[in-house]
Amino acid sequence: MTNEVRSGGPRTVFGSRRRSWYERDVQQKNQTNVEPPPAGLPADLLEILVCPKSKAPVVYIDGFLVCPTSRLKYRVEAGVPVMLVDEAEELSADAVEILMQQQRR
């Protein structure tokens, strides 16, 4: 037996190099740069979510979760609610009222 070292990685019967899982993953990510945003959050999740500050229920409006009681707006990233008070946006009373009217439509 000889100690030959082949370069180029594993080969198929036809001689073409197989792509590794990493190369396939990179190629797929390059083809689909950004995942499309979810259509909404599941209803059963919305039923149990509450504002961490006021413990009041939150409402899903235009891709955000809004707590009318504490007037905080929480972002949703790739379908995952970011329920951190420090990262929430504080809204004025008028802005909350406008958002709630939009949600009722």
pLDDT(82) > 70: yes
pLDDT for 1-29, tens place per residue? Answer: 555 555 555 555 555 556 566 666 666 65
Q: Would you state the pLDDT for residue 28?
A: 60
Per-position DSSP letters for 36-101, written without gaps between them? PPPS---HHHHHH-B-TTT--B-EEETTEEEETTTTEEEEEETTEE---GGGSEE--HHHHHHHHH
Domain segments of the chain as ranges: 43-104
Return the pLDDT at 22.
62
| Rg (alpha carbons) of the chain, rounded to whole number | 24
Q: What is the pTM of this model?
A: 0.62
CATH code for 43-104? Answer: 2.20.25.10
Of 85, 92, 32, 96, the C-alpha closest to 61 is 96
User: Residue 36 has which token pair?
Assistant: 């499309």
Q: What is the pLDDT of residues 95-105, one digit of tens each?
A: 999 988 887 77
